[in-house]
A and B are shown apart, each in its own frame.
Chain A
């Protein structure tokens, strides 16, 4: 006899989600992730001034609004076929990288790690130390992570003016011409961030950490006491001790749009699709299905550039406000792990090939990316040339279309816009969480987080912390799931 467990509200994620699982003999047989809120941004945007996208879409999500603003401005830049100066690429990437860095740190300490203090693990020898570090509002490392935010926020302020909801991103560049004084201030603030990361997160210099290029390097790195005692070291040991490397596999297929656009149609981290090997990313292969969504208006798979968002709250069989995006009809995972695999990051790709995907690796890849970002922001800060422009005024056509395809903290984010008579004819957003927490598609394939839950052993159905680990390892952002979960 199987038991159905409904977890609503499911907390410590961005936004509102409900998780329903069916458990038999302790093993999850079926799983549903439901987006429970509809805000209808895409409908709100219809008929408005195309520039309104830059104001409205960051307000899809309070934690990653910068990425929506950038995707929106990028969609307009591509639609208008305009250019932006090299300095603007740098500022865009710096703001996005700070947002991703802050997101990763908050996600680990405030959202993911509290589950490590769950009573299930109370008998383990390391448990008291884990509680001392990670318990919400009390743990040393938890508090230190929140205390570290001012340097990151101030660095954000230097470039973005205000955040959440900056309007610094424009189709022709950025509004903020960075002076040498601001550049100097930023370099100082970044040093404070680096000190925090080195002292607390990795217990060594960033370059030492980035010298780890394989699983065996990591094991060797762990051999030193300072490393072992760092939060990263503690996580790596404890996560494997409690078996996080054995759960939450997912579909094993990964997608990245390529992170951090550079001048000349390049990205800092490579794009691509991984399915037992690397394949080029082709945008046309994205289709969205709505068989199990509270939406109507079409039946097969539709590309987001032609997307329709029409609510149908009483639809028979539907269980989520989210659509089901698929890549070439495959269920794919997006996020830091996907980015690191596609970029063939030596450390993460090596562990991936040896151990495969899991809760452990997904979270580890996120923290590793955070370290890489600190280093990269420093490189970009020095490349800004205060004497050169940051903005180039675009010419605005009345009828056009375009896409803004970027990588947000949680993974692949796309905005598709069609403009007619200088108004928005169609605006569609496909968020990272739409990919990761999607409901089943028209072929009855579960979304990747649902797949990651199915097969998981739950020790105590009254305390299904394993589900917490799996779902939060994806860092779901439900406010982002435009139609998907909230919106």
Chain B
């Protein structure tokens, strides 16, 4: 049995909702097989007010062991470092998060906000939001770059806006099975198992991509990379292989572009979201690790070879050929 404490900080609580969407395994099955003892969850638990403070105090004093601390939402530090933009029982919640992280065996940042600051840290970051151990690509966050939890691991970042439920379930499973080691994490402390793939992998529009047969407006079948802003070729995630909502959907299956929500510089690194910025004919943002000259060569060659069938379907709302 593992003791799990789940905190919601500066975010939308969408990761909780996403966790409840787990289907394979179903959320109830997942809770059973991982044998989770939920110490407290703000959305799901019965305890309120002082009872919650008591649970926290017991954790901080060591009377209750936190096997896993999950934080969703960014840590709000403003204004001017006071944390007054988010008070929990009259006290800055950032302090509570920090105290609990110091005693947890494993600390997970679920969602892009908790991992890297995310949406609420966008632009000028007026509320001084931070991730637990990163702010965007920079190491540090609220806990500092040297932080390790009781298990010896840094904060394990499981970003995504929201986080895919399977990523949460598998990360917990790995912890229970003792199979989450430092070498399983990438440079941003994300489990490689989910983030060493690209959202592009498994995209149903891949044939269109190969032959540069592109959609020029929404609702069409073609690739969304050339004109409509899709970042699937540089977004590190397995969304299109794993798929969402019981394997029925994904961003590109829904007809809209991937906006690279698992990356540390999301959202500002992904703008403009809905169009592809270009110099001449060449997109400014190229597929991951593909040199520009090669991309141009490949794209030109592919365009010469595009089958008529693909050209037609790419700009049609349904398969016409």
- Asked if A and B are interacting partners, one says yes
Residues of chain A whose beta carbon lies under 8 Å from any beta carbon of chain B = 6-12, 14-16, 18, 36-40, 43-44, 47-49, 51-52, 54-56, 59-63, 65, 106, 110-111, 114, 136-137, 143, 146-147, 149-150, 153-154, 156-168, 170, 172-177, 179, 185, 311, 313-314, 386-387, 389-391, 393, 468, 479, 486
Of the candidates B255, B257, B267, the one whose C-beta lies within 8 Å of that of A176 is B255
Tell me if A149 and B21 are in contact (CB < 8 A).
Answer: yes
Tell me if B16 and A52 are in contact (CB < 8 A).
Answer: no
Interface flags, B2-17, vs A, CB<8A=1, else 0:
0000001011111111
In the complex, chain A residues whose CB is within 8 Å of the CB of B267 = 52, 55-56
Tell me if B16 and A110 are in contact (CB < 8 A).
Answer: no
Of the candidates A114, A150, A161, A389, the one whose C-beta lies within 8 Å of that of B46 is A114
Top 7 nearest A-B pairs by Cβ distance? A161-B254, A62-B14, A157-B245, A157-B248, A175-B255, A391-B219, A157-B249
Tell me if B218 and A391 are in contact (CB < 8 A).
Answer: yes
* Residues A164 and B18 in contact in the complex (CB < 8 Å), given A60-B12, A175-B255: yes
Tell me if A9 and B88 are in contact (CB < 8 A).
Answer: yes
> Bound complex: CA of A179 vs CA of B316, how far in Å?
12
In the complex, chain A residues whose CB is within 8 Å of the CB of B262 = none
Tell me if A162 and B249 are in contact (CB < 8 A).
Answer: yes
Tell me if A11 and B219 are in contact (CB < 8 A).
Answer: no
In the complex, chain B residues whose CB is within 8 Å of the CB of A164 = 12, 14, 17-18, 162
In the complex, chain A residues whose CB is within 8 Å of the CB of B76 = 37-39
> Bound complex: CA of A40 vs CA of B88, how far in Å?
18
In the complex, chain B residues whose CB is within 8 Å of the CB of A314 = 84
Tell me if A11 and B88 are in contact (CB < 8 A).
Answer: no
User: Residues of B within 8 Å of A, CB-based: how many?
Assistant: 75
Of the candidates B27, B86, B245, B247, the one whose C-beta lies within 8 Å of that of A36 is B86
| B116-124, B131-139, B300-308: which lies at the interface | B116-124
Of the candidates A163, A172, A177, A386, the one whose C-beta lies within 8 Å of that of B244 is A163
* Residues A162 and B251 in contact in the complex (CB < 8 Å), given A16-B88, A55-B273, A153-B245: yes
* Residues A44 and B85 in contact in the complex (CB < 8 Å), given A52-B271, A160-B254: no
> Nearest chain-B residue to A168 (Cβ)?
B254
24 cross-chain CB contacts under 8 A: A9-B88, A10-B49, A12-B45, A14-B13, A18-B89, A38-B76, A39-B76, A44-B119, A44-B123, A48-B123, A51-B274, A55-B259, A55-B273, A56-B122, A63-B14, A136-B44, A147-B26, A157-B247, A158-B249, A164-B17, A167-B256, A168-B256, A176-B255, A390-B317
> Nearest chain-A residue to B129 (Cβ)?
A39
* Residues A52 and B273 in contact in the complex (CB < 8 Å), given A11-B43, A154-B245, A479-B12: yes
In the complex, chain B residues whose CB is within 8 Å of the CB of A311 = 79, 85
What's the dominant secondary structure at chain B's contact region? loop
Tell me if A146 and B250 are in contact (CB < 8 A).
Answer: no
In the complex, chain B residues whose CB is within 8 Å of the CB of A479 = 11-13
The verdict on B90 contacting chain A, using a C-beta distance below 8 Å, is yes
Minimum C-beta distance from A173 to chain B (A): 7
In the complex, chain B residues whose CB is within 8 Å of the CB of A111 = 43
> Bound complex: CA of A8 vs CA of B16, how far in Å?
20
- Add 18 more A-B contacts to A168-B255, A174-B218 (CB < 8 A): A11-B43, A44-B120, A55-B267, A62-B12, A62-B14, A63-B14, A114-B46, A137-B38, A147-B26, A150-B26, A162-B244, A166-B256, A167-B259, A174-B255, A311-B85, A386-B318, A390-B317, A391-B218
In the complex, chain A residues whose CB is within 8 Å of the CB of B249 = 156-158, 160-163
Tell me if A150 and B246 are in contact (CB < 8 A).
Answer: yes
Tell me if A167 and B162 are in contact (CB < 8 A).
Answer: no
> Bound complex: CA of A143 vs CA of B45, how far in Å?
15
In the complex, chain A residues whose CB is within 8 Å of the CB of B250 = 161-162
Of the candidates B86, B256, B273, the one whose C-beta lies within 8 Å of that of A37 is B86
> Bound complex: CA of A52 vs CA of B42, how far in Å?
30
> Bound complex: CA of A147 vs CA of B217, how far in Å?
38
Of the candidates B28, B52, B248, the one whose C-beta lies within 8 Å of that of A9 is B52
Minimum C-beta distance from B142 to chain A (A): 16
> Nearest chain-A residue to B40 (Cβ)?
A11
In the complex, chain A residues whose CB is within 8 Å of the CB of B90 = 8
Interface members, chain B 234-290 (any A CB < 8 Å): 239, 243-257, 259, 261, 267, 271-274
The verdict on B87 contacting chain A, using a C-beta distance below 8 Å, is yes
> Nearest chain-B residue to A312 (Cβ)?
B79
> Nearest chain-B residue to A468 (Cβ)?
B48
> Bound complex: CA of A166 vs CA of B250, how far in Å?
9
* Residues A153 and B23 in contact in the complex (CB < 8 Å), given A52-B273, A161-B255: yes
Tell me if B126 and A44 are in contact (CB < 8 A).
Answer: yes
